[in-house]
Chain A
Amino acid sequence: GEDVEQSLFLSVREGDSSVINCTYTDSSSTYLYWYKQEPGAGLQLLTYIFSNMDMKQDQRLTVLLNKKDKHLSLRIADTQTGDSAIYFCAETFNNAGNMLTFGGGTRLMVKP
C-alpha cells in the first residue's frame, strides 16, 4: 500500500526559509498536496502539484517534486510567526480518484 512519511518537527527563526520534506513509496501518484493545520482548526489547502511537474511557485511557497527519489518538499520563504502550524503532505494515486493519503504531519515552529 501507499506510505507517506514526514519528519515530525521543524524549528526556524522568523525571516528564514523553511523546508518541509515528504517521501512516499508508491510511484503512481497523480496529485500531491500541501495542507496547513493551525491549532484546533481544519485543514487549509496551501498548494498542490500535478505529478508530471517538477516545481510550482506560488508567492512565498515553492513546491519541488523529485519523482526519481519519490521526494516532495515545501519551501516557505521569509517565514513568519503566523506560519507556525502543522503541515501535511497528501497524495492521490492512480485508480483511487481523489482519495487522499496523508503523511503524519510536520510541526513548524517559528521563533521571533
Chain B
Amino acid sequence: DAMVIQNPRYQVTQFGKPVTLSCSQTLNHNVMYWYQQKSSQAPKLLFHYYDKDFNNEADTPDNFQSRRPNTSFCFLDIRSPGLGDAAMYLCATSRDKGAGNEQFFGPGTRLTVL
C-alpha cells in the first residue's frame, strides 16, 4: 500500500546530542512536511519541501534543519536537542500545494530527550 513511513517510531536522545528522524513515502508526492506536536497540543508546522524547494516557517528554531535528498525521503535534523524539543514529530506529504490537496500523515516519531 502507498503510504508515509516514519522511522524510528520512538527515539531517545541525550540533551545536546544531535538526532535525525526519517520519513519516506511511496506516494510520489511533490510536497513533504514536518510538524512538531507537543503533548495535548495541535501539530505545528516546522517546514516543508516543495520538490527541492525548502520553505521554513518563520518561528522554527535554527536548531531544526531538514534534508530531502530525493522525492521519497525527507529527514529532520535536530542539532542540539533540548528538553523542550521532546515531542511527537509528524511527517506528511501532499501531491501539490494548492487548496484541496490532502495531506497524508505518517504515524509519527516520539522523541524523548534525557
A98 touching B98 in the complex, CB below 8 Å, given contacts A43-B43, A88-B42: yes
Tell me which residues across on chain B come within 8 A of A40, comparing CB atoms: 108, 110
Number of contacting residues on A, CB 8 A?
22
Majority-rule SS of B interface residues:
loop
A44-B103 in contact (CB<8A): no
Please indicate which of the listed interface residues B92, B99, B101, B105 has the most CB atoms of chain A within 10 Å of its own CB: B99
Contact present for A97 and B107 (CB under 8 Å) = no
Q: Chain A nearest CB: distance from B41 CB in Å?
A: 7
Find the B residue at minimum CB distance from A105.
Answer: B42
Q: Is the CB of B98 within 8 A of A97?
A: yes
Query: How big is the B interface, by class?
Result: 20 to 34
Q: With the chains together, A5 CA to B6 CA distance in Å? A: 29
Q: A42-B105, A98-B96, A100-B45 are in contact. List 20 more A-B contacts (CB 8 A).
A: A31-B99, A35-B105, A42-B6, A43-B43, A43-B105, A45-B104, A48-B102, A50-B100, A88-B42, A88-B43, A94-B99, A98-B97, A98-B98, A98-B99, A98-B100, A98-B101, A98-B103, A99-B97, A104-B42, A105-B42
